[in-house]
Every structure is written in C-alpha cells, then in structure tokens.
Chain A
C-alpha cells in the first residue's frame, strides 16, 4: 500500500495515468451532465409551489456541492503536503483552487438568481449565504498566497496551512441551515434519509452532480498536467515528451 502511495507521488507516473483517464472522464462527465440538465430542465415535473423557477436547482446544487467537495479534497492534499511533503499534492491544490473559485462563484450567482423570484431578494446575510461567501474568499486567498510567495516549497507549506485553517468553514456551511435560523432551506439531499423530492426530480439532479464530479476530474487532470510540465521542465522525460511532437 505504501509503495502505491509513493508511486502516486511521482509526477511522471501521474502524468501518464492522467492522460489515460482524461478521455473517459470528459466523455462520462459531458454525457451525465447533459443528460441530467436536459432531463431536469425539460422533462422533470415542475414544483407545486415554485413552478418552473425551481429548475435552477439542477445547476445550483451541482456547483455548490462541488465547491465544498473540492475544498475538502484540497484539505486532504494539504495534510499530505505538510506530513509527507509530496509534490503532487501541492500540484493538486495549486491546480484546482481556481476551479473551486469559479464553482463557488457560480453557486452564489445561481443562488442569487433563484433567490430573487422565490424569496424576493438577491442576497441576505444569513449563515448559509455568508459562509459560502467566506468560502469564495478562502479560494481567492489560497490563489493569492500561492502567487505571493516565489519559493515553491515555502509557498506549498503556507498554502497548506491556509487551506487547513479554512476547512473549519466546510461543516459550518453544511450545518448552517440546521444550527441557526436561516432564509435558505435545509438540504434536499441527505446522507441518511431519502431525498425530499420524488425520483423524477432527484435522479436528474444526481446525474448532474455526478457529471460535474467527472468533469471536475477531467479539468483537474488537465490543469495538473500543465503544472507538472511547468515544474519538471528541466527533466529528461519532459524534454522527450515535448520533442516527441505533442508539445
């Protein structure tokens, strides 16, 4: 098991694996996401209370879900960076932070667009919305801190500590709707119970969440490959790879 773990730390090995995985991730992601969104927007029944405007859930929930889950993955990678000093973990954090930022922004934006017709306001300072805004700033902070430090190793450590400090925010986002009075409704998907919507609504929602995960996987592989090439540009295998005509 440890051998596999150390192999995973080798950028060259990961580069090859990523190249093999990426077509599958991209195809699966697009397929699931298109299926989920078309089903959700065109064929799922409308809601008894909100009518058609609830359909933004098929975009809002996947982005919000991923925004949090990407941060958790970054936190795991940060622990690996701090404890095992694995280069690849730092490459991951650096590559996916901008993706997380965009996903968080999208979830806040779609949430605001949804909030206007249903609640009657674009924004309200309730615990869920505010903690999600803090997540946006955390992603921004991670990117900025990484850019601010020139030395690769000290940047990796500083960023890891920041990511770990920020991970406290994730359970706050998750449980904000239960711990405090908020305008935002509680989660529709729960880990332990059945979703509080019929199957013809939650199946397309689940498809689009899964599709978003695969698409994120593809994007993460792509960005990590670029970062690996950049960092390993002086090594033999990168030179061979580029000279082989793919660059």
Chain B
C-alpha cells in the first residue's frame, strides 16, 4: 500500500478507536440514566429515589392482580423473581397487560414502598408463535405438573 494511504488509514483507525472508547465510557457512566426503568430488586434495595417520577419495570406476578369493582383502580405486584414491588394504577390498561407479562409503569414511589403509577405500558418479548403452539406448550407444561403431582401422590 502507498505510504500516504497507509498513514491516512492509520489516522482513520485512530479516530474510530478513540471515538468508540469515548462514547463507550460516556454511556457506561450514564448507564443508570439510559436505563428506561428500575427493576424491583433495585427498588427494594433503595436505589430508586422516593417521590420522584420514575419508571418501574418487571413481570406482573401471577395471581396478584386485584381490580376495584367500583372504579378503574387496579393493584398488582411487579416482580423480577428476586424482589417484588406493589403497584397501584387507575386507568385503562393496555391490551397485552396480563399476569405473567412484562410491564413498565411510570409514577412515584411513596414512603411505604408502594409504586403509584399514572401510566402502565405493556412489554412483550422477542418470541413469537402461533396460538396453537402456545396452547400445546401450555398443555404440555400442565400435563407435566399433573404427572409429577400424581407421581408424588403415588409415592406417598
């Protein structure tokens, strides 16, 4: 390669590497600001500020959704399978909201450790499948449960 071109190529590479390091360090330093939400473990460890508008995200705990019969108020717990945070929300929930599904709630943490949300967004994962497959999977996992239950009852 021509020496001048070699020199130019080195300069370009230096530019790119330097830039990548600078941006990498900046985003690493700002990672808590770039994160869209706090997860329940961070909230229970007191990392999230109280009475400041923040977002909390995680899975809706199975069997935790309680709807108020007279209003649109809903209470549920958001979990990351390590810790869980109670959430209170008044309003219309997105269609995808369900127990066992991911959500991101926006609101304030009160002094009792309860999260009062004014917006709840549904989060879905990258797995797509036809409804029949999902049904079959669910049946299979229930079948296994039953099988293990009956196995236990036999051994008793």
A: which residues have CB within 8 A of B? 45-50, 54, 57, 79, 82-84, 117-121, 124-127, 161, 164-165, 167-168, 172, 179-183, 185-188, 196-198, 200-201
Give the secondary structure class of B's interface. mixed
Indicate if the CB atoms of B12 and A83 lie closer than 8 Å: yes
User: Would you give 19 A-B contacts (Cβ < 8 Å), ordered by A?
Assistant: A45-B131, A48-B134, A48-B135, A50-B96, A57-B128, A118-B96, A119-B96, A119-B123, A120-B120, A127-B36, A164-B16, A168-B23, A172-B23, A181-B36, A181-B37, A183-B121, A188-B128, A196-B128, A197-B128
Question: Which B76-104 residues have C-beta < 8 A from chain A?
Answer: 93-96, 101, 104
B-chain residues with CB within 8 Å of residue A126 when the two chains form the complex: 36
B138 CB, nearest partner CB in chain A, Å: 9
Q: Can you name the residue of chain B whose Cβ is closest to the Cβ of A84? A: B5
B-chain residues with CB within 8 Å of residue A179 when the two chains form the complex: 27, 31
Q: Do A48 and B23 contact each other (CB < 8 Å), given the known contacts A118-B94, A120-B120? A: no
A-chain residues with CB within 8 Å of residue B39 when the two chains form the complex: 181
Indicate if the CB atoms of A180 and B36 lie closer than 8 Å: yes
A127 to B104, alpha carbons, bound, how many Å?
Answer: 14
The 10 A-B residue pairs whose C-beta atoms are closest, nearest first, are A120-B94, A48-B134, A45-B130, A197-B128, A126-B36, A48-B131, A181-B35, A185-B126, A83-B8, A196-B127
A48 to B135, alpha carbons, bound, how many Å?
Answer: 8
Whether B74 sits at the interface, judged by CB under 8 Å, is no
Q: Which of B20, B121, B134 contacts A120 (CB 8 A)?
A: B121
Could you give, for residues 100-131 of chain B, a 1 whenever the CB lies within 8 Å of some chain A CB and a 0 otherwise?
A: 01001000000000000001111111111111
Indicate if the CB atoms of A48 and B133 lie closer than 8 Å: yes
Indicate if the CB atoms of B27 and A172 lie closer than 8 Å: yes
Whether B29 sits at the interface, judged by CB under 8 Å, is no
Question: Which B15-49 residues have C-beta < 8 A from chain A?
Answer: 15-16, 19-20, 23, 27, 31, 34-37, 39
B136 CB, nearest partner CB in chain A, Å: 10
A54 to B124, alpha carbons, bound, how many Å?
Answer: 11
Indicate if the CB atoms of B12 and A82 lie closer than 8 Å: yes
B: which residues have CB within 8 A of A? 5, 8-9, 12, 15-16, 19-20, 23, 27, 31, 34-37, 39, 57, 93-96, 101, 104, 119-135
Q: Can you name the residue of chain B whose Cβ is closest to the Cβ of A117? A: B95
A-chain residues with CB within 8 Å of residue B34 when the two chains form the complex: 127, 180
Indicate if the CB atoms of B126 and A186 lie closer than 8 Å: yes
Indicate if the CB atoms of B94 and A119 lie closer than 8 Å: yes
A1 CB, nearest partner CB in chain B, Å: 12
A54 CB, nearest partner CB in chain B, Å: 6
Indicate if the CB atoms of A164 and B96 lie closer than 8 Å: no
A183 to B129, alpha carbons, bound, how many Å?
Answer: 20
B-chain residues with CB within 8 Å of residue A49 when the two chains form the complex: 96, 101, 124, 134
A-chain residues with CB within 8 Å of residue B132 when the two chains form the complex: 45
A20 CB, nearest partner CB in chain B, Å: 30
A84 to B6, alpha carbons, bound, how many Å?
Answer: 9
B119 CB, nearest partner CB in chain A, Å: 8
A119 to B105, alpha carbons, bound, how many Å?
Answer: 11
Indicate if the CB atoms of B128 and A47 lie closer than 8 Å: yes
A-chain residues with CB within 8 Å of residue B16 when the two chains form the complex: 164, 167-168
A40 CB, nearest partner CB in chain B, Å: 11
Indicate if the CB atoms of B122 and A79 lie closer than 8 Å: no
Q: Which of B23, B119, B125 contacts A185 (CB 8 A)?
A: B125
